[in-house]
Amino acid sequence: MTKKLDIEKFRKLLLKEKEQILADRRTSAQNHSEDGIELSDYDNHPADAASETFEKTREYALDANFRQILESIDEALRKIDEGTYGICDRCGEPINVERLKAIPYATLCIQCQESIERR
């Protein structure tokens, strides 16, 4: 487990990452909205329609990823409040501090994560 001082550091890191993701989502939504206006001024060519479909699919995938990370961040913040942050959900052992620095919303220690990925 991490020290009390480290917990606040991770809380700030998680909140900062959450703010950044929300800002990125707003920017992405604004850009997508502006692109839609530009495209509607032109005749619909099949290649344009394919490009637009690709962009929409990409935007949906990015948005789903943003939502998943935001949920993970909220879960990590809840664990901080409960005093269980930094504990592996699978084996109950402490998650390495370096792993938490890299992925502050990690719920599994590296050994458990690798075990799952090998399946």
Q: What is the pLDDT confidence band of residue 2, given thresholds at 50, 70 and 90?
A: very low
Residues 57-78: b if buried by 16+ CB within 10 A, e if exposed: eeeeeeeeeeeeebebbeebbe
pLDDT digits (tens, 9 = 90+) for 84-116: 999 999 999 999 999 999 999 999 999 999 999
Task: Print the domain residue range for 76.
Answer: 4-118
Q: Which alpha helices (DSSP H) does the chain contain, by range?
A: 4-40, 46-82, 97-102, 110-118
Which has the higher per-residue pLDDT, 75 or 27? 75
How many domains does the structure of the chain reveal?
1
Distances (CA, A) of 70 to 38, 60, 102: 31, 15, 16
* CATH code: domain of residue 13: 1.20.120.910
Distances (CA, A) of 117 to 30, 76, 100, 113: 36, 21, 18, 6
Residues 109 and 97: their CA atoms lie apart, in Å, by 10
HSE toward the beta carbon, residue 11, CA cutoff 13 A? 14
Asked if pLDDT for residue 63 goes beyond 80, the answer is: yes
